[in-house]
Structure 1
Amino acid sequence: MTEATNTQIGYSANLPASDPGAFEVRSSPLPAPRPGEVVVRVEAVSVNPVDVKLRAGSPARGFRVLGFDAAGVVTGVGDGVAGFAAGDEVFYAGSIARPGSNQRYQAVEARLVGRKPANVSFGEAASLPLTSLTAWEAAFDRLGITDSSEGYLLVVGASGGVGSVLLQLVRARAPRVRTIGTAGAANADWVRSMGAHEVVDHRGDLVEQVRALAPEGVSWLFTSHSRHQEAVYARVVQPFGRIVAIDDGARDVAPLKDKSIGWLWELMFTDPLHLPDSHHQAWILDQVAALVEAGAVRPTVTSDLGTISAESLGRAHAAVESGRTVGKIVLEGWAI
């Protein structure tokens, strides 16, 4: 059943997540699909660090709807769209340049949308798009890991949303790559359950711990916590190795030159923003869906905060903002 108007949850001022006014509920006209778009009835969303950063510091310019993870049902298809029809169940992360998924109906570019895995709930599916796209692009597109690759991969921040998916993807698609994840003692079992062959304590001496497992160093390093770590990484990565980072800020890569180590960045939104004819992310999501259905990758939900509302989004943002979350937080269904 289609509602007469759309419900959107967004912000108009950069307030703390705990502030009762941090999120506002507004009504808007139902979106109509433009050429190349589908309209999706959003059934579940997840909250990512990018949501928190934008709410805390990015101008709303009136009113901004966040949300970059969604799973739902197609209700409308625009001209020129092939492969989708009303009633299809889908999942996606969308684009940072457009209103997000914290709304009942969302228009999204079809080239960014994948089919939802048939064997999981909407909430479980919503935990996957942004992190799986980031992890896939980081491991396979940036680092160049293939199904025939051999060597060690160090995953810094392995208990986080991206690290948890990356470990699973590499285990499924590059079985000869040995993965080492960093985590605190409380999260070590989670990281092993995600596919890490070894876990090292992120509070300890990283060089000593990694070198004990990979005496010649690692071939690849993924990091979500790279600030001030360039010299440390230079000591654990092999000559001609590669590092890919997803966090923000300038980095001093001079320590890497002696070993000709490559420093790469991964931003999932590069494709949506700069490659208007690319369908690569839809393809990745379809590959992830197949892996989920085959049991090789599982959703990383660790907290379900109930239905989608201004209050529950505030709680989700506060949890992500704490920096202590493991896996993903999801919201499923609508309270309003």
Structure 2
Amino acid sequence: MKAIGFKTSLPIENEDSFIEFEIIKPKPKGKEILVKINAISVNPVDFKIRQNSAKDIVLAEPKIIGWDAVGIVEAIGDDVSLFKVGDEVFYAGDVTKQGSNATYQLVDERIVGFAPKNISNTEAAAMPLTSLTAWEILFDRIRISKEKDKGKSILIIGGAGGVGSVAIQLAKKIAGLTVLATASRNETTDWCKQIGADHIVNHKDLMNDVRKAGFEHLDYIVDFVDTNDYWDIMVELIKPQGHIASITGSSEPIVLNKLKSKSVSFSWEFMFTRSMFQTDDMIEQHHILNKISALLDSEQIVSTVSHTFKSFTVENLKEAHKLLESGKTIGKIVIEY
């Protein structure tokens, strides 16, 4: 089967930053399903792993990355109970396993959902990783519920990005929150408004813009850009007994003590935690993806695909990574097979 990967970490402009190669099509066992992939999308985690996982070394076998796919189940392991051959599925996969930049992929059924029926493969491929991340940060980490939290305020830092674009929709349309999203360019501002943000605030003058929007403090803040850069602003803007959550990690230690006087909670979100540690509730990602699929089919939320490449080639994968690395992308980039 065809796959695209790398043996060493190189700048994306380098001829060998991605290479095409052939490997034997794997066979599923246990809870694994074998998926024939129809479309994939790219995420910032892709280029970060490409840039850092094989620095100053040459791998014996190429590393396959990619953590978003939609496709058809071609074979199942002996312990599979959720899917059958022929089912159309979508998923983000497991960062500790080979990724989706190939024509076939093995994936544990517990982190796979049934693909939406009323949208295209291209639209569906854009959604798994970002939807899982946004859902988990809002409903598993902060534990927002419409019943108790409707009308409360949330600031989404990085509104036009892949995760932010889903978080805006879930926060507004599913949780009933008042949504503030950061954006600075005309195109990102328009995008955030289009998908449901109530207020757009400029990240370059965030404190003042939030106040100008009429908010002294906010119930919730989620960071999809840089925890360190925004930490002091988040500490100032969060309400007493509020909740801050982030997906971005931190290059420097975070001073959690700054949250003490307000009794503010803080959470990390890492979408791969459940699969990486084989947690007892790993199957929750199956359930979440099925909920996302239903929301897409009922048009309560929309796909965030913004750019499509028409063929699974080294050249197109390189171009997709170049766009992501520019930091200027809106929504998601999809590659069709």
Please indicate, yes or no, whether the TM-score normalized by the shorter chain is above 0.5. yes
1:275 aligns with 2:285: no
Corresponding residue SS for 1:299: coil
What's the counterpart of residue 296 of structure 2?
A: 292
Where has structure 1 moved over 6 Å in runs of 4 or more? none
What's the counterpart of residue 328 of structure 2?
A: 324
The TM-score normalised by the length of structure 2 is: 0.94
What's the counterpart of residue 3 of structure 1?
A: none
Following superposition, the deviation at residue 29 of structure 1 comes to 1.0
Are the aligned partners of 2:159 and 2:182 in contact in 1 as well (CA < 8 Å)?
Answer: yes
What's the counterpart of residue 143 of structure 1?
A: 142
Following superposition, the deviation at residue 213 of structure 1 comes to 3.0
Are the aligned partners of 2:130 and 2:166 in contact in 1 as well (CA < 8 Å)?
Answer: yes
Distance 1:109 1:233, change over 3 A: same
Corresponding residue SS for 1:238: strand
Rounded Cα–Cα distance in structure 1 between residues aligned with 2:214 and 2:162: 25
Rounded Cα–Cα distance in structure 1 between residues aligned with 2:85 and 2:318: 32
Following superposition, the deviation at residue 283 of structure 1 comes to 0.4
What's the counterpart of residue 133 of structure 2?
A: 134
Identity of aligned residues (%): 37
Rounded Cα–Cα distance in structure 2 between residues aligned with 1:38 and 1:158: 34
Query: Which residue identity does 2:266 align to in structure 1?
Result: W
What's the counterpart of residue 171 of structure 2?
A: 170
Deviations 1:12-50 (A, max 9, x none): 011111212111111111111111010000110001000
Query: Which residue identity does 1:28 align to in structure 2?
Result: I
Rounded Cα–Cα distance in structure 1 between residues aligned with 2:289 and 2:24: 29
Following superposition, the deviation at residue 83 of structure 1 comes to 2.5
Following superposition, the deviation at residue 207 of structure 1 comes to 1.7
Corresponding residue SS for 2:172: helix
What's the counterpart of residue 119 of structure 2?
A: 120
What's the counterpart of residue 10 of structure 1?
A: 5
The TM-score normalised by the length of structure 1 is: 0.94
Are the aligned partners of 1:308 and 1:332 in contact in 2 as well (CA < 8 Å)?
Answer: yes
Q: Which moved more, 1:44-53 or 1:180-189?
A: 180-189
Following superposition, the deviation at residue 276 of structure 1 comes to 4.4
Deviations 1:65-104 (A, max 9, x none): 0000000011001111112111111000000000000010
Corresponding residue SS for 2:30: coil
Aligned pairs for 1:1-336 (under 5 A) are 6-59=1-54, 61-62=59-60, 63-148=62-147, 149-150=149-150, 151-175=152-176, 177-186=177-186, 187-204=188-205, 206-225=206-225, 226-249=227-250, 250-277=253-280, 278-333=282-337
Rounded Cα–Cα distance in structure 2 between residues aligned with 1:142 and 1:72: 29
Deviations 1:118-171 (A, max 9, x none): 011111111000000000000111111102213100000000000000111122
Rounded Cα–Cα distance in structure 2 between residues aligned with 1:154 and 1:299: 21
Figure out how many residues of one structure are paired with residues of the other and give that number: 326
Are the aligned partners of 1:42 and 1:103 in contact in 2 as well (CA < 8 Å)?
Answer: yes
Corresponding residue SS for 1:13: coil
Are the aligned partners of 1:230 and 1:256 in contact in 2 as well (CA < 8 Å)?
Answer: no
